[in-house]
Amino acid sequence: MAANLPELRIVPLPDLPEVRPGHDLAALLMEAAGRAVGGGLADGDILVVTHKVVAKAEGCVVDLRTVQPSPFARVYAERWGKDARQVEVVLRESARIVRMDRGVMICETRHGFVCANAGVDRSNAGAEETVVTLPPDPDASARRLREALIGGSGRRLAVVISDTFGRPWREGLTNVAIGCSGLRPLRDERGQVDAQGYRLEVSVLAVADELASAAELAMGKLGGVPAALIRGYEYEDGEGSARELVRAPEKDIFR
């Protein structure tokens, strides 16, 4: 079983221009891949792209100077030293607040993701007084990007769109998948048998999240590199959805 396992390569794709609405992100990524690896994209490659560059290409940016905060946003912002306009955008992006404590807003987004500030982020937003929101349908964004990449390269590819989330109980953020196309985000090993004949019970691995985390390591600091190429990971083909990574509320003992 263990013989001839391939090694993985994780190649950063730096030097993309500042992405603006309407930019052809697929073309920019193909050019970057051509610079980064000899021969450019190859069959089986996975492109991991931070949501921020996707969101900016799709125009998911809000100029805070246009935002009128609600009274609730004002009170909360004042209490915790936040920008009331940014709090207002967070509330608009939220379907539900999971926790609102000690100046931290853990929100459930319209997609079902549970994360700080509903994914609204001010860093690397591309302009001052501006925040970036999550794309409305990150799976659809991944699908469109994948189709454009396949159309341009003729290769069999998968796309993962990543964001940086915190988690309970553990310090530090990790990158996770919020959209994917062309691969199954979960690798299900249940029912398989280990070397001692013990049937594995709960082994469903969130490989799309692990791919997002692996890519983060290659992207380096400060969000300056918005994409990485992963080569050598033998993923399960399929039109998976990153929504599969969201635990259904009725199954979630921590919601």
3-state secondary structure of 6: coil
d(CA 114, CA 145): 24
Type of residue numbered 230? I
In the structure encoding, which two tokens stand for residue 168, read together? 């309970």
What is the nearest approach in angstroms of a copy of itself to the Cβ of residue 8?
4
Return the ∠ at Cα 32 (arms to 26 and 38), rounded to 5°. Answer: 120
Are 187 and 205 contacting, i.e. CB atoms less than 8 angstroms apart?
yes
Compare residues 22 and 253 and give the one whose CB is closer to a copy of itself.
Answer: 253
Give the whole-angstrom CA distance, residue 254 versus residue 250. 10
Closest distance of CB 218 from a copy of itself, Å: 5
Query: Least distance in Å: CB of 199 to a copy of itself?
Result: 8
- When the beta carbons of 42 and 116 are compared against a copy of itself, the nearer one is 116
Least separation in angstroms between CB 151 and a copy of itself: 26
CB 56 within 8 A of CB 21: yes
The nearest distance, CB 239 to a copy of itself, in angstroms, is 17
Q: Which is nearer to a copy of itself, 94 or 213 (CB)?
A: 213
The smaller minimum CB distance to a copy of itself, of residues 45 and 216, is found at 216
Pick 154 or 192: Cβ nearer a copy of itself: 192
Ordered strands of the 114-116 beta sheet: 94-101, 104-109, 114-116
* Minimum distance, C-beta of residue 169 to a copy of itself, in the bound complex (Å): 4
| Selection from 59, 75, 72, 74 nearest residue 130 by Cα | 59
Per DSSP, the three-state class of 189 is: coil
Q: Which is nearer to a copy of itself, 71 or 171 (CB)?
A: 171
Backbone phi, psi, residue 185, to 5° = -75, -20
Among 131, 126, 88, which residue's Cα sits nearest to residue 107?
88
